[in-house]
Structure 1
Amino acid sequence: MDMEQRRKWNENHKKLKEIILKTEEHSQIVQLFLFQHSLLHSSSIGQKVQVTLEDEVMKNLDQTTFRQYPVPNPDTKNSIAWHLWHIARIEDMTMNILVNDDQQVLYTANWLEKMNIAFAHSGNDMPEGDIAELSSRIDMDSLLAYRAAVGRQTQKVISSLIPGQFKTKVEQKRIKRLFDENAVMQHSKWLAEYWSKKTIAGIILMPATRHIFLHLNKCIRIKDKLNKQSMKLIIDKKMVALD
């Protein structure tokens, strides 16, 4: 996605926000969500020709850049690995616990073992040592496969909703599940409280779309910054060699 396509994504998100509670426009809402959501995952998810925001993140992304922590960006010091894992976890728990009251994708195929990590929570308020461990250990290919599985499940969940469900409040028993399944850490109760005040529409407009968009853009800025630093280092070394 280039800058013009990202601008269009923002415009469509604004439109989605305007119509999402209009029961009579349920079909249009679902289709617009599916389109917006597909642009936040690998192009293989939506089977579209258009380059997605995840495609842009992964283009020429090497392991060093993927794992570097901390990073020198003003809006985040967390690694690209952490950001991709975080948005996958948030999407998984909100869509499959809060919206669908079903099993998280995380526990459908030994994903923790495949990703080579032990962190099942959202990543909010995560200690620096744990972020460093996750960044260095997580298997990139398995993380991307997990995120793809989460994305496919999200599209199934939203496609199965019936007119009027977007107005439904998140049930408290589902909020409780977040803690029962260690999806949200006890010292991050603020996150569960924030979600507990939302309708299904509110969950869709942030965790399932806007939240992902913001973090993927951070990933692109991280990659660009680190690539510029690497290029500058190479040039500086060449200049020294010429002296």
Structure 2
Amino acid sequence: MKYFGEGLSEEHKALNQIIRKKQRTEEAIKIFLDIHKQLHRSNIKDREENETDRLFGDLKPWEYAVMPGREDETIAWVVWHIARIEDLTMGILAARGDQLFNEDWCRKINSPIKDTGNALSDEEIMAFSKQVNCQKLLDYRSAVGERTREIVSRFTFEDMKREVNQADLMKIQREGGVTLQKDSEWLLEFWGTKDVAGLLLMPPTRHVMLHLNDCCKWKEKIRTRTKFFLV
């Protein structure tokens, strides 16, 4: 069921059709940036209030740390997960540079982990969600989003078709972005099959769309149910 992002799937399909066409690189970047701005809060400069603002704008602190059903995660975990993956894939793999996350962000967010959180158990997700500073976590995600826009705005057709570099994948692992656990390490293999265009079509767009849709669904569950799987 669609809870978030009406029309975004159609925009994403349009992006997919042109992103590797040399004569349409500028158009592809424009579509990417339009999709991307709708997936981040409007405190990324020059944005009008959007659906993402409405998702996070009235959340109570305790609502970030509720696991509504057995198959669900928490909103806090999702914010961390999508921010870390966008940071790693855009900063290190797409831009061939560095991630934004550092010890200062880790301290401000009060995070017990540095990786994407893929391999956490339900109990670990709950402990994480109750510990982190959700406002600082949202601030980190906004900073990641702004940096992504700066990176992609400069891309050329040659950048789009560039394949992910193995050394950059190892840099992610070396810096703790993924762990050696099976549920985490597979990300390196997955990202390693992509070119930059393929990265743009998943971590900062499609991946986020799916997770924010989940968050909207969970928000509704949290506000209409009295019993939850974990809280």
Establish whether TM, by shorter chain, passes 0.5: yes
Q: In structure 2, what residue type is equivalent to 1:88? A: A
Q: Deviations over 1:185-228 (max 9, x none)?
A: 11222111011011101111000100011101100000001100
Q: Which has more radius of gyration? A: 1
Q: What is the correspondence of 1:145-156 to structure 2 with a 5 Å cutoff?
A: 145-156=139-150
CA distance in 2, matches of 1:121, 1:79: 16
Structure 1 runs (4+) deviating above 2 angstroms are: 3-7, 46-50, 127-130
Partner of 2:59: 61
CA distance in 2, matches of 1:145, 1:59: 13
- Cα RMSD (Å) of the superposition? 1.8
| 1:126 equivalent in alignment to 2:120 | yes
SS in 2 for 1:169: coil
Report 1 or 2 for greater relative contact order, CA contacts < 8 Å, sequence distance ≥ 6: 2
**Deviation of the 1:26 alpha carbon:** 1.1
Q: Structure 1 stretch 86-95 or stretch 4-13: which is displaced more?
A: 4-13
Q: Deviations over 1:123-162 (max 9, x none)?
A: 1121333212210011011001000000000001101212
2:68 to 61, 68, 71: 71
Which structure is higher in helix share?
1
| 1:90 equivalent in alignment to 2:85 | yes
- Provide closer, same or farther for how the CA distance between residues 4 and 80 of structure 1 changes in structure 2, counting only shifts above 3 A: closer
Q: Deviations over 1:162-184 (max 9, x none)?
A: 22211111011111111101101
Does structure 2 conserve the Cα–Cα contact (< 8 Å) formed by 1:38 and 1:46? no
CA distance in 1, matches of 2:129, 2:60: 13
CA distance in 1, matches of 2:141, 2:49: 19
Partner of 2:192: 196
Q: Deviations over 1:33-87 (max 9, x none)?
A: 11110000001215232513x213213211121112x3226xx421110011100
**Deviation of the 1:94 alpha carbon:** 0.5
- Provide closer, same or farther for how the CA distance between residues 5 and 223 of structure 1 changes in structure 2, counting only shifts above 3 A: closer
Q: In structure 2, what residue type is equivalent to 1:134? A: F
Q: Which runs of 5+ in 2 are unaligned?
A: none
| 1:186 equivalent in alignment to 2:183 | no
Using the aligned pairs only, state the percent identity: 33
CA distance in 2, matches of 1:4, 1:133: 27
2:134 to 126, 140, 148: 140
Partner of 1:217: 213
Does structure 2 conserve the Cα–Cα contact (< 8 Å) formed by 1:56 and 1:220? no
- Provide closer, same or farther for how the CA distance between residues 99 and 117 of structure 1 changes in structure 2, counting only shifts above 3 A: same
CA distance in 2, matches of 1:152, 1:55: 15
CA distance in 2, matches of 1:92, 1:13: 20
CA distance in 1, matches of 2:24, 2:196: 16
Partner of 1:36: 35
Alignment coverage as a number of residue pairs: 224
